[in-house]
Amino acid sequence: MTHILHLDASARPGLAGKDEHGSHSRNLSHRFVSQWQARRPQDVVTYRDIGQNPPSIISHDWIASSFTPEPQREAWMRDTLAESDRLVDELIAADVLVIGTPLYNFGMPAALKAWIDQVVRPGRTVEMDDSNPLDPYVPKLADRPRHVVILTARGGVGFDAGGEMAHMNHLEPNLITALGFIGLTRVHQIAIEGQEVGGELLAESVRQGLSKVDALVAELQRSVQAERVAQPA
């Protein structure tokens, strides 16, 4: 049984094409999950709408608690990290992380950055190896195959790698760096563009995006099954 962790980071609560001012990134992520469940209804989906319910921003107390070894933590430190622990537990349990996110001002929404800050945790998702000062960070989520699906909606065009605006896209590169740091390196990306342009350009981008989502679902389900068979008993 595969476990999917589905995050939506858009500030828009509705779905494009169904709700006024609906979210295109939510449309992509919900298409992915619904197609997955249609093919594999036995799989488990954990859903977090971080766009509507943002994680807490890390604070001085969070930093002090996180960098204190667990046996030495006081009660208030454990309370401070309770939210982070829940988010980390969900991520560790996931086989496929699905992130639906818009590109806001050339980067990720604040809610998604807050989630990243909550799950990049010393001792939970990354370790320090003092014996290797040149590269001391050991990603803990590289212990088994996990996949990341980044489904993005952009107002402009040309933000893909090689595009005219690619140098201004700090969303996917930032996510890939942060998630790779903790061991999530099997990344798949689909984006739609042209929301601010509209018309046929946007409509065609949406059609292509949804088609790519359907193809990716089939591809990943085959990959996850093959990886599961290959793992030692």
Annotated binding residue 60: no
Annotated binding residue 59: no
CA distances from 106 to 15, 102, 153, 199, 232 (A): 22, 10, 12, 22, 43
Interatomic CA distance for residues 162 and 172, integer angstroms: 14
Q: Assess contact for 209 and 28: CB atoms under 8 A.
A: yes
Q: Assess contact for 186 and 195: CB atoms under 8 A.
A: no
Annotated binding residue 24: yes
Annotated binding residue 84: no
Interatomic CA distance for residues 46 and 80, integer angstroms: 23
Q: Tokens for 94?
A: 């996931």
Binding residue positions: 10, 23-25
Binding residue positions for FMN: 10, 23-25
